[in-house]
Amino acid sequence: MTPAAQAPGLDPALIDKVLQLFQAAGHHHVSPPILQPADVFLDLTGEDIRRRLFLTTGTDGVDLCLRPDFTIPVCRLHLADAAASLPANYCYNGPVFRQRPDGFGEIPQIGAESLGRTDIAEADADLLALSVKALSSFGLTAPSIRIGDETLFASVLANLDLPTVWRRRLRDLFGETDKLTAAIKRMSGSAAEVDDNRDVRLGFLSALEGTAPEAAHAVVEDLLSIAGISAVGGRTPAEIADRFLEQAALASGTGGHDRAAEILTAYLAIKADGTSAVASLRKFSEEFGLELGDSIGAFEKRLSALETKGIDPSQLSFAAEFGRRLDYYSGFVFEIHSETQAVDGPLVGGGRYDKLVTLLGAARDVPAIGFSMWLDRITACVKG
């Protein structure tokens, strides 16, 4: 498939130019298979992607999907290569497939991934700077760059006196601001999460509350068996039972966390550009007496590395609430938008996913970061 076929209206020479830019930066060009095992994406991508998959079934009964992103396929390709070593840098160009309410579900993308670099701040800066250079090659300059950091949010949570189930619940919701805000209000007892099926579900959760885990597992597995269901959304009956137990704990644990809710609300309200973000974070930390020194220090080191790479701190917009809607992101995230607002959605999206390669089967932890560029949106900006 040629670049021109993947991005109608965009000069193929520009795509080649960007690929050459990636390769000059040490990224090896790869083409992961379009057909991928569905269970991996059902488990690791998050609800937004799961509901938009194009699913099919192989002749052997295995659930398959058209690749909805490149990051997981590139990581799988790396793991399948017995000769691959770390660090390893890859780039790609081709379509991803996600169902859309309007338009075709085939989306042309180009991007780069970096696996195994232990100089975290420098790797983050290199990949973000590379994406900015790539946009410049397409003729798009002075972009608006939005950054966030789930590591900071996790550090705030670690400082709070909250049950483990609530820490996990809140971190799972990071990046989905409306749902996270509703959960924080419910945690403090000031509001309930909106759910049309809430009353019915709470009756079942109340029955599970206090039940021994073994008995709860047996109940859920029996119910699924009666309904003829062996799995839901890629999850086994045992995993579904664990989820029900977690929900039971959440249902019975509302209220009594006013201080934690106050701190989280104050944190999520922080917004600043790159020149004042560190000062804002330190002020917040001191005001609430939180131990955030290491996380803020790492954040500051990244900003310094970005400035060294030519990224003006005033060009960066930090929002404490900002996360990307893919479950495998675990730290620094970024998006680049058009200043002209010519298109909806980011032109570039990326971030750090230090746990993903391990979850896919690596024998040890592999720090990793990457980004994807939406060529259809870039085309609209170039033509607009």
**Helix or strand holding residue 306 (H, E):** helix 293-308
Give me the mean pLDDT over the 121-145 stretch.
Answer: 95
pLDDT of residue 245: 59
pLDDT band at 326 (very low <50, low <70, confident <90, very high): confident
CA 116 to CA 270: how far, in whole Å? 31
Q: Strand (E) positions, the chain?
A: 28-29, 35-37, 55-57, 63-66, 88-97, 106-115, 144-149, 271-273, 316-319, 332-337, 348-352, 368-374
- Looking at the fold, whether 222 and 310 belong to one and the same domain comes out as no
Asked whether the predicted pLDDT for residue 193 surpasses 50, the reply is no
* pLDDT cut 70: percent of the chain above it: 82
Please state, in angstroms and rounded to a whole number, the distance separating the CA atoms of residues 159 and 143: 35
Tokens representing 198?
């809430």
Domain boundary (212, 230, 253) is at: 253
Q: Are residues 304 and 159 in the same domain?
A: yes
Q: What is the pLDDT of residues 15-39, one digit of tens each?
A: 999 999 999 999 999 999 999 999 9
- Same domain, yes or no, for 315 and 198? no
User: Distances in Å between the alpha carbon of 196 and those of 69, 203, 286?
Assistant: 32, 14, 40
The DSSP annotation for 171-210 comes to: HHHTT-HHHHHHHHHHHHTS-----TTHHHHHHHHHHHTT
154, 177: one domain: yes
- For residue 294, the enclosing domain spans 146-163+171-190+257-331
Kindly state the average pLDDT of the residues 46-61. 88
- CB atoms inside a 10 Å sphere around CB 208: 19
Least confident of 56-60, 100-104, 277-281: 100-104
pTM: 0.84
Out of 230, 253, 276, a domain closes at 253
Please indicate, yes or no, whether residues 8 and 126 belong to a single structural domain of this protein: yes
- Do 323 and 288 lie in one domain? The reply is yes
Q: Are residues 234 and 278 in the same domain?
A: no
At 241-262, the pLDDT tens digits run: 656 655 665 555 555 689 999 9
CA distance 381 to 341: 9
> Do 345 and 317 have their domain in common?
no
pLDDT grade for 294, boundaries at 50, 70 and 90: very high
Distance of alpha carbon 74 from alpha carbon 301, whole angstroms: 28
Say how many domains are in the chain.
3
317, 277 Cβ separation under 8 angstroms: no
pLDDT at position 165, please?
80
Q: What is the mean pLDDT of the chain?
A: 87
Cα 151 from Cα 168, distance rounded (Å): 14
Residues 157, 304, single domain; the answer is yes
Q: Given this model, what pLDDT does residue 335 score?
A: 97
Contact between 15 and 7 (Cβ < 8 Å) = yes
Residue range 116-137: average pLDDT? 97
Residue 359: give its domain's CATH number. Answer: 3.30.930.10
93 & 130 share domain: yes
pLDDT at residue 221 in the model = 72
Which residue shows structure tokens 């390769």? Answer: 23
Q: Are residues 155 and 82 in the same domain?
A: no
Backbone angles phi, psi at 217, to 5 degrees: -60, -45
Are 75 and 213 in the same domain? Answer: no
What's the rounded Cα separation, in Å, for the pair 29 and 195? 45
Residue 3 confidence (pLDDT): 42
